[in-house]
Amino acid sequence: MTSQPTLTKAEDGPGKPGEPGTGLQAGLKNRHLSMIAIGGVIGAGLFVGSSSGIATAGPGILLSYALVGTLVVLVMRMLGEMSAANPTSGSFSAHADRALGPWAGFSIGWLYWFFWVVVLAVEATAGAKILEGWIPAVPQWGWALIVMVVLTATNLASVGSYGEFEFWFAGIKVVAIAAFIVVGGLAVFGVLPGVDSEQAGLANLTEHGGFLPNGAGAILTGVLLVVFSFMGSEIPTLAAGESEDPQRAVTKATNSIIWRIAVFYLGSIFVVVALLPWDSQSIVDKGSYVAALDSLGIANAGQIMNFIVLTSVLSCLNSGLYTASRMAFSLGQRGDAPGAFARTTARGVPRTAILVSVVFGFVAVFFNYEFPDSVFLFLVNSSGAVALFVWLVICFSQLRMRKIIQAEAPEKLVVRMWLFPYLTWAAAAVIVFVLGYMLTDTEHNGRTTVLLSLLVAALVLVVAVVKQKVTARKALAGKD
């Protein structure tokens, strides 16, 4: 059994403030965890990327979101079972380490870290574009630098600072999308005062070529386009390790995932495709949510949505930096990364892990500006399928961990996967199918994404296997 990342509360003896290197501290409050869990499933991809899915599948994109949402619910249930029994900042990587072997924890941990480092660059650039539009006196690269520096300082201050920033970022997203659903829903049913939207109505779901205007196959293509907007739903299980009551936090986040996806994803997309015909040119030109707001005659709809997207981008940056650093910390704890990654400050902050993640994030931002169509494109594509790899590893880890938990501490099974092991195997099969289907997708870059992601995964796996063999040899040599 490998060692797990440690948690020490601020008031406990060995982990009290003022003694550096004592591990992470319980600095996240229940309200922080609740909002991180709610806002974690609302990524900028929902606002920005949904238009391409609607253009591909029409109203049938609702089925694409429902399929991916169901898969995420199942995967989160499995992760919740393992994390409630053993809350840790390494989450699925630490569980894979124990359930499948050090090679699995090493590989998926570093791939996940790589994914979020690339996301830092993507989101910093997206936020900089919006800010430059508002204040053009500052160049785009300057805004990217400012945003990264501010959020780095926040994460370096304390985990409580991260939690507080994320509480407000996520709060704005939740309020905005809830208001959109309510206002749009009233317009769809023709009861919104002061708004005369002739094209709104449930008829948009079946007219203009039907519910599936491009055929049933478009549902699967839609799955490829929306699956990555769900990445981030696992963050509460990483953050729970620094909360006052980790088991309760994980249980609550796991149990609430169904309504969160149903309301924020399915609810908001339903409103969009009911307010406007799916083939409306405005959806392509302006984006789905801006077009929907414009159809209601809401003034400055584009700027309102830019503010909401910017909030989502900052939230994603904040969480991405936090998540990457905690994964690096966990890898350091288990000997899969330099030991400095596992050292913390007096406030329980893994400073080295944060700074290294930021440095690589800055490098990726540089590549985005200097080599957008070569180096940076490779980074984006080679990290694109990591979400599916993570979900697949969670499935196989849970199959093994259930037996381990039942043998060692059955009372810790406070969250149980439904219909075990059948739904676990079914989820794994769906993930493999999606990866296989992506290999046939040349129109939306699916094949390139899978092949490059598999290449990077293979390289990391080779390093993991070599490391494991070297460690085993040293252990044998030590016994002689």
At 356, the amino acid letter reads V
Mean pLDDT, residues 86-113 taken together: 92
The C-alpha angle with vertex 352 and arms to 349 and 358, in degrees rounded to 5, equals 100
Q: Which residues contact 366 (CB under 8 A, 6 or more apart)?
A: none
pLDDT digits (tens, 9 = 90+) for 264-291: 889 999 999 999 999 999 888 888 888 8
Supply the pLDDT for residue 472. 83
Supply the pLDDT for residue 217. 86
The answer to whether residue 39 scores a pLDDT higher than 60 is yes
Supply the pLDDT for residue 325. 93
Supply the pLDDT for residue 21. 52
Handedness of CA 461, 384, 90, 66 (dihedral sign): negative
The answer to whether residue 38 scores a pLDDT higher than 90 is no
Full DSSP string of 199-251: T-SGGGGTSSS-SSTT-THHHHHHHHHHGGGGTTTTHHHHHGGGBSSHHHHHH
Supply the pLDDT for residue 197. 62
Helix (H) or strand (E) holding 83: helix 61-85
Supply the pLDDT for residue 305. 84
**Inter-residue contact 312 to 130 (CB < 8 Å):** no
Q: Which of the listed ranges 115-119, 175-179, 379-383, 423-427 does the model predict with the highest average pLDDT?
A: 423-427
- Compute the residue count for the chain: 480
Handedness of CA 172, 178, 183, 188 (dihedral sign): positive
pLDDT greater at residue 406 or residue 296: 406
pLDDT digits (tens, 9 = 90+) for 335-371: 999 999 999 998 889 999 999 999 998 898 889 888 8
For residue 28, what are the β-bridge partners?
243
Residue 195 pLDDT class (50, 70, 90 cuts): low
pLDDT digits (tens, 9 = 90+) for 236-269: 888 887 887 888 888 888 888 888 888 888 999 9
pLDDT greater at residue 444 or residue 388: 388
Mean pLDDT of the chain: 86
pTM: 0.89
Supply the pLDDT for residue 1. 38
